[in-house]
Each structure stands twice: as structure tokens, then as C-alpha cells.
Structure 1
């Protein structure tokens, strides 16, 4: 059952094919690359539109289903954990790994910490919807983490830059 889901899920296949194309330095023909570039440029606006639509729909359905939705006040905590605690945890474990002899150079550790300091991915609300999670709550987390990351990520870059 699980193997059927993995085989039918396009996300792992896209990652594997992208990795293989990168490893072999495969470049598609120019007309196909133009289409890929067009789709890549449309990714961010599409993600923002999707997040907005998910937030709007969750607000409309929350009140129509049961009269009033139970408010969840953990959005700021979740975003703080993602933007502040997660990078500090990665940095701490990285330093611990270096202390115990792992061959991680400081530049690679800084990159790992910066990647962990990025905001929540914009595809998370779509995955949440697929697995019937609270898409409105997830979209709020993505939106707030994206807004706050302008400050937190810039600070992390300044702090971790040589």
C-alpha cells in the first residue's frame, strides 16, 4: 500500500529527476527550456495566490460549518520555532558534530543553518490539503514565516557571514 503511494507521488520523482539532470548536467532543448523558465517564473506568484485562496476558503468554511471556529493562538509560537529555534538547533548540532569529528567545514555549517532559517515552504498548504490537515492554520504559518523571515533571515545572513 505504501509503495503504491510512493510510486504514484510525483514529488519524489521530480526530486530524483532533478537531481539526475543536475548530476549529468542535462540541458533540455531551448524551446523546452523556455517553457521551464516560464513555469519557474510563475512559481512564486502562483504560490502566493494559492496561500491567499487557502486562507480565504478556510475563513469562509470555518464559520459556516459550526457557527464559529475555535481560534488557535499558536501561529506565532510555531513561526518563532521555525525561524529562530530551528536554525539554532541545526547550528548547535553541527558544532556538536564537528566537536565529535564530523568533517563539516564552517562554510557548509553556515549554509545548513541558513537553509534551516528560511521560511516555511509555500507548497506546505497544498500538502496539508492533500492529507486533510488544517490548511488555514498551515497557510497562516507560511504567510507569517515568510513576512518575518525578511528580518530573521537577513539577520542570520549578517550573523553567519565571515
Structure 2
């Protein structure tokens, strides 16, 4: 049951379709992956709009960092009236420079965050707005390229047999 809480129904449907077309007709995976990327970007843009409008500004402390292929995502701890939360932000964008930086000096540092009043586990760092938008725009453009290439091959505009 924890699996269904972590993933939305549309994410599971996209995954099943993606796996099916990997074995049936691989080129369909390109527009499918591109549309999934665009769908997630729109979902995150709507979340950012919602949290900027309705989010509760709060402060938390960086307790550690999670490694993800060299990139570091901060684990933030903060208290609400109802619960203690200690996890990574809902949306975080890293750059290649983050691979080379030392983050040990930031542990214990207080950061400003915005959390969803209905679900405090969904939060973002308040001062990372511009980098998040840049990352989302980049993912959106990559999704558009995947859709164009996939549809170009499927419709015969791009010939891959030569």
C-alpha cells in the first residue's frame, strides 16, 4: 500500500505503457517519455504556484545530505504543530557545480522553506525558486525534443533505416 501512496495512478500507467512499448515498438517510448516529462513539469509548475500562494513560510535545519549520483540533496528537519518532519524537499534542482562543493559546513544551518498546509511533507526551499524554474524549463525542452523525434520517426519524416 505504501507503493500506491508514493506514486500517482498516471505515473504507474505511464510506466506500464513504457515497458510494454519497449518490447513491442521501441520508438513509441520517445514520445511517451517526452509527454511524461512535460506532464511532470506542468504538475510541478502547478505545485510551485500553489505553494507560493498558499504555503506557510517556516524555517528548518539542514541535518544531512543525500547523495544521488554525485549530486547532493539536503535533508531538512522542521516542526509543525502536528508533526516532526525530516526529509528532502519536494522539488530540488542541483547543478554540476554541486558535485565539487563541500556541504559539511551547511549541516546545522537554518534555511527558509515553504510547506503545504494540507500536507507539510510537501515543501520547497524558499530561496531556490529561480533554479527550480530553470531546471523545469530544461526538462520541458528535453521532453519536447523527445516528442518531436519520436513522432518524426513514427510519421516517416525522419528516416532511420539509412
Fold shared, TM-score > 0.5 on shorter chain: no
Of Structure 1 and Structure 2, which has the larger fraction of its residues in helix?
A: 1
| Higher relative contact order, chain-length normalized (CA < 8 Å, sep 6+) | 2
TM-score normalised to structure 2 length: 0.33
Of Structure 1 and Structure 2, which has the larger fraction of its residues in strand?
A: 2
TM-score normalised to structure 1 length: 0.33
